[in-house]
Chain A
Amino acid sequence: MTSLLTIEGLTKAYPGVVANDDVTFAIAPGEVHALLGENGAGKSTLVKMIYGLVRPDAGQMTLHRQPFSPSKPSEARARGVAMVFQHFSLFEALSVAENVALGMEDPPPQRQLARRIRDVSEAYGLPLDPDRLVGDLSAGERQRVEIIRCLLQDPKLLIMDEPTSVLTPQEVEVLFKTLRTLAAEGTAILYISHKLDEIRTLCDGATVLRLGRVVGSCNPREKSASELAEMMVGSALKPPARDGAEPGEIVLDVTGLSVKSANPFGTSLKNIHFTVRAGEVLGIGGVAGNGQDELLAALSGEARAVPEAVKFQGRPVGHLGPNERRVLGILSAPEERLGHAAAPDMSLTENALLTGAIREGLTRGGFLRWDAAEDFARRIVKEFDVRTPGVSNVARALSGGNLQKFVIGREVLQRPDVLVVNQPTWGVDASAAAAIRQALLDLAARGTAVICISQDLDELMEISDRFAALNGGRLTARRPAKGLTVEEIGMMMGGAHDMEPPAQTAPEVRHVEA
C-alpha cells in the first residue's frame, strides 16, 4: 500500500523539554490512524508540525511522495491537510457560515457558502444551521462546525485532536459513522486520543508516543485495552482502592438551585436538586459546557442564590460568599488551575493564602502572617509530593500535574466537611491523577462529603458512590454508580429528563455578578 503521508525523524525541542524526538511513521489513504499517548507525550506538537503551525528542528515529511514542509497552515490546507482542533478555533460572536469562511482559502459568497454548508452537513449526518451564532451552539455542534469547515475543502488528510472529549456517547457514535464514511471515500484520518476503547473500535493502525518518542505501533483491533495502556504509560497502574465506608448524615442539601450564568454564552443552572452524605463521593458527569463551571461557582459561593437553595447541615447558606462558606467547611477546587484556583504570577506561599487564609489562621487582625503561610505551603508541597524548587516559585512555573496536586492539597489539608472539585485530573499525567483520586477517596473515608464534577467517565466510575449528570444546566437524579451501563450514562448525559425528580417551583433567584 502506498502511503499518503510519511514522517521521518521529526524532532522538535522546546527549552527544557524535547517535545518530539525522532518520530517516524506513515499513513495510507483511507486509513484511520491513531496517535496514542498520555497528556504531554508530544501528540499536539507533532500534529502542529504536520499542520504548519510549528516548524520541526529536524526530520522530513512527504505527502503524495512530494516533500512536504508547510511553513503556515494555509500551505498545509492547500496541500489537502485539514485539522479539527481540541480547543476549537472558533469565534463565538460570529455565525457558523462566517466561521467556516475564515477557515477557507477562497470562500464562495456567503449565500452560496451557506447552501454548501447545509448540503455537506446533511450528506454526512451532521445537521447545522449556517446562520446561527457559534456562541449559542453546544460543544458537539461546535465540533461539527470545525469538521464541516474541513470537509468543504475536500481534504486528503483530516487530523482530529481529541475529538470526543466534548461529546456524549451517542454523539460519539454519530461522529464515528461520519469518519468511517470519509475513510471509505479515501480520506486518511489521523486520530489523536488517549481513549483506548475508541481507538480499538475506530482505527486501523496506531502509533504510540511516550515522552516525545515512538514507543510502538500496532493494529489496535488486535490488542487489548490494557496492552495499549501499558504501551502508553510504560508500566501498569494500580487502581485506587475504595475503603467502602458507610455514608453518614446528609451534609449538603441542594433544593431548587437556579443561578443565571455570568457569561452571556454560559449555561444557567435550572432547578437543581441533590443531597450528599458525609463520607460519600458524588460524581457529576456531563459534556463540557452544560453548567459545570456554574455549578461549582454556586457551591463555592462565587455565584449566590437564595439562602434555602443550598443547605449545609440543615443551615441555609445559598446567599453566603466563598469565605463565609469556607468558615463553615465548604471548600472547592475549580477546573481552571491558572487564573481561577491559583494566581499565575504569585508564589506558592501567596497561593496558599488564596483559600487558606481563614481556616489556617494565616492572618491576624487583617495583617498577613507570612511565616505561617509559608509553613502551610510547605506542608502542602510535602504531603502532596508537589515537585517544585521551593514555595517561593510562582504557580505558572509548575507543571499542570504538580499545580493540580497543590490546588487539591491546599483544600484537602484544610479538612473540609464538603469538598467540591471540577475536573480534578484534567490535563494531568497518569501518576498525579492517580494520587489526586486517592486523596479524594481518603478524604471521603475520613467523613468528608466529596462532589466530583468531571468529564472523564472512567474517573467518575472509579471513585463515585453515586452518579448524576448535568445537561443544559439541569441535573439528573442521582443513581448508584455501581452497575450503571454506558448506555444508561449516555442517556443521562444526553438529557433524559424523565430521570429528574418532580419539578418544584423554583424560588426567586438573585444573581450576584462581577
Chain B
Amino acid sequence: MLRLEKRPVPSRFWTIMTPVVAVVATMVAGGLLFAFLGKDPVAAIRTIFWDPIFSEFAWYYRAQLLVKAAPLILIALGLSLGFRAGIWNIGAEGQYIVGAITGAAVGLAFYPLDAWYIFPLMILAGALGGWAWAMIPALLKIRFGTNEILVSLMLVYVAEQLLAKMSLGLLKNPDGHGFPGSRNFQEYPSAHNVELIEGTGMHGGVLAGFIAVIAAYVLLNRHILGYQIRLTGQSARAARFAGVRPKLLVAFCLGTSGALAGLAGLFEVAGPAGQITIDFNVGYGFTAIIVAFLGRLHPVGILLAGLLMALTYVGGEIAQANLRLPAAAIQAFQGMLLFFLLGFDVLANYRIRPIKREVA
C-alpha cells in the first residue's frame, strides 16, 4: 500500500514536470483510445503532434497554430487570474461571443466608411462587450453572493441564443441573399483584422496575446494587485487581514477575464472567422480552461500550453482528414489531458511513501 505525505515545500521539479508527464500519459492513453477506434495509434499520435510542425505542408499548419493559439492564450490568461484567487469564471465562451458581437456591431455600423479609427474602436467595443458580460456574474456575486460558476455558465447559453438572433436579425448581411450571418470583414479593409506578416498567421490577436502574457507576468510577480490575487487564492482570511477588498478583486478578476475573452472574440470575428454566424463559437472558452490549468496558471506556462492545445486542434483536423479520426476523439483527448494533469499534480505537493508494516 502507498500513502501520501504532504511535502513541507512544493516540489519545484514536479511543478514543472507534471505537465510534461501528463502530456506523455495522454499520448499513451489517447493511443489506446485510437487503437480501440481501429486507427493506427502511432500514426494518429504522429499526425496530431508531429505533422503540423514538420510535415510537408507545415508552412500552412504553423500559421494555423498561431491562429488557434491566440484566442486560447488570451482567454486562459484572464481565467488564470481569477482561478488563482478562487474566482471561477466558467463562462468565457459567452464573453467571447458577446465580445465578437459588440465588436462586429461597431465595425458594421461604420460600413462602408473607410477610416483608420474603425478597427481600434472595434477592439475597444469587443473588450467592453466581454467585460460587461462578465460583470453580470461579478456584480451578482458582489451584491448577493450568487455563485459565479453557475451564473457565468448560464450566460453562455444566453449568449449563444443572442448570437443566433444577431446573425439572423440585426447583424444579418443585407446583401446576403437571405443567408444567415453578417457581412464578411475580409471584404471590409478598415475593419479587417489583417495578417501582420504574410503567411505566418500573425494577426492582431496573436500580438495582443503576446502583450497579455507579458502584462500578466508583470502583474502577478511585480505588482501588489497580483500579490493580492495570489494571497486571496491561498487564504481569503489572510487576504482580508492584508487589506484586500474581496469585492474589488472579484470585479477585477471577472472583468479582466471577460475583457480578454471579448478581445479574443473580436479578433476572431474580424480575422480568421470573418463574420458573425450562428456557429461562430467553437468552444475556445471551454478549452481555455484546460489551457489555464495545463499552464499551471502561470503566464509563460499558458503561452506554451496554448500552443500545445492549438497543436492538438490543428493536428486533430489533419487526423480527421487523413485518418478519418472523428472530431469528438480530439475533444475526449483534450479532456483526458486535463484529467492526467490534475492527477499527476499530486506529486508536486505530496510525496508518495509506502506504508510501513504495522507492528502488532
Residues of A within 8 A of B (CB): 15, 55-59, 69, 71, 300-302, 321-324, 326, 334, 336, 338-346, 350, 353-355, 357, 363, 366-368, 393-394, 396-397, 514
Please name 7 further chain A to chain B contacts, defined as beta carbons within 8 Å, in addition to the given A55-B359, A394-B10, sorted by A numbering: A56-B359, A57-B359, A321-B245, A322-B242, A345-B234, A346-B230, A346-B231
Decide if A343 touches B234 in the complex (CB within 8 Å): yes
Decide if B246 touches A367 in the complex (CB within 8 Å): no
Which of B128-136, B148-156, B221-229, B281-289 has 4 or more CB atoms under 8 Å from chain A?
Answer: B221-229
Inter-chain CA distance A367–B235, complex, in Å, is 22
Inter-chain CA distance A330–B236, complex, in Å, is 21
Please encode chain B, from 230 to 260, with 1 for each CB lying within 8 Å of some chain A CB and 0 for all others: 1100111110111101100000000000000
Decide if A368 touches B223 in the complex (CB within 8 Å): yes
Inter-chain CA distance A384–B235, complex, in Å, is 25
Inter-chain CA distance A71–B360, complex, in Å, is 9
A12 to chain B, nearest CB (A): 10
B243 to chain A, nearest CB (A): 3
Tell me if B356 is interfacial: C-beta within 8 Å of chain A: yes
Q: CB-CB < 8 A to A396: which residues of B?
A: 8
Decide if B8 touches A367 in the complex (CB within 8 Å): no
Inter-chain CA distance A324–B245, complex, in Å, is 12
A340 with B242: in contact, given A367-B222, A393-B9, A394-B9 (CB under 8 Å)? no
Residues of B within 8 A of A (CB): 5, 8-10, 222-225, 227, 230-231, 234-238, 240-243, 245-246, 356, 358-360
Inter-chain CA distance A336–B240, complex, in Å, is 13
Decide if B231 touches A15 in the complex (CB within 8 Å): no
Q: CB-CB < 8 A to B356: which residues of A?
A: 57
Inter-chain CA distance A429–B243, complex, in Å, is 30
Q: CB-CB < 8 A to A346: which residues of B?
A: 230-231, 234
Decide if A368 touches B9 in the complex (CB within 8 Å): no
Q: CB-CB < 8 A to A15: which residues of B?
A: 5
Inter-chain CA distance A323–B224, complex, in Å, is 13
Decide if B241 touches A366 in the complex (CB within 8 Å): no
Inter-chain CA distance A511–B223, complex, in Å, is 30
Q: CB-CB < 8 A to A326: which residues of B?
A: 243
User: How many contacting A-B pairs (Cβ < 8 A)?
Assistant: 81
Q: CB-CB < 8 A to B225: which residues of A?
A: 366
Decide if A342 touches B5 in the complex (CB within 8 Å): no
A343 with B223: in contact, given A354-B231, A394-B9 (CB under 8 Å)? no
Inter-chain CA distance A357–B231, complex, in Å, is 13
Q: CB-CB < 8 A to B245: which residues of A?
A: 321
A332 to chain B, nearest CB (A): 8
Q: CB-CB < 8 A to B360: which residues of A?
A: 69
Pull 28 A–B residue pairs with CB atoms less than 8 Å apart, ordered by A. A55-B359, A69-B360, A300-B241, A322-B242, A323-B243, A326-B243, A339-B235, A340-B238, A340-B241, A341-B241, A343-B231, A343-B235, A345-B10, A345-B234, A346-B231, A346-B234, A353-B227, A354-B231, A354-B241, A355-B242, A363-B224, A366-B224, A366-B225, A368-B227, A394-B8, A394-B10, A514-B236, A514-B240
The 4 residue pairs across chains A and B that have the minimum distance between CB atoms: A323-B243, A397-B8, A322-B243, A339-B235
User: Out of A58, A338, A366, A368, which one reaches B359, CB within 8 Å?
Assistant: A58
Decide if B224 touches A368 in the complex (CB within 8 Å): yes
Q: CB-CB < 8 A to A56: which residues of B?
A: 359
Decide if B224 touches A340 in the complex (CB within 8 Å): no
Q: CB-CB < 8 A to B231: which residues of A?
A: 343, 346, 350, 354
A443 to chain B, nearest CB (A): 20
Q: CB-CB < 8 A to B5: which residues of A?
A: 15
B226 to chain A, nearest CB (A): 8
Decide if B242 touches A336 in the complex (CB within 8 Å): no
Which B residue's beta carbon lies closest to that of A364? B224
Decide if B224 touches A367 in the complex (CB within 8 Å): yes
A167 to chain B, nearest CB (A): 27
Decide if A302 touches B222 in the complex (CB within 8 Å): no
B9 to chain A, nearest CB (A): 6
Q: CB-CB < 8 A to A353: which residues of B?
A: 227
A55 with B358: in contact, given A302-B241, A339-B235, A343-B235 (CB under 8 Å)? yes
Inter-chain CA distance A326–B242, complex, in Å, is 10
Decide if B241 touches A355 in the complex (CB within 8 Å): yes
Query: A343, A346, A397, A514 — which one has the most chain B CB atoms within 10 A of its CB?
Result: A343
User: Out of B9, B227, B243, which one reaches A321, CB within 8 Å?
Assistant: B243
Which A residue's beta carbon lies closest to that of B246? A514
Inter-chain CA distance A15–B6, complex, in Å, is 11
B88 to chain A, nearest CB (A): 16
B253 to chain A, nearest CB (A): 15
Decide if A336 touches B237 in the complex (CB within 8 Å): yes
Q: CB-CB < 8 A to B243: which residues of A?
A: 301, 321-324, 326
Q: CB-CB < 8 A to A323: which residues of B?
A: 242-243
Inter-chain CA distance A338–B235, complex, in Å, is 9
Decide if B359 touches A354 in the complex (CB within 8 Å): no
Decide if A357 touches B8 in the complex (CB within 8 Å): no
Inter-chain CA distance A467–B8, complex, in Å, is 40
Q: CB-CB < 8 A to B8: which residues of A?
A: 394, 396-397
Query: A344, A367, A397 — which one has the most chain B CB atoms within 10 A of its CB?
Result: A367
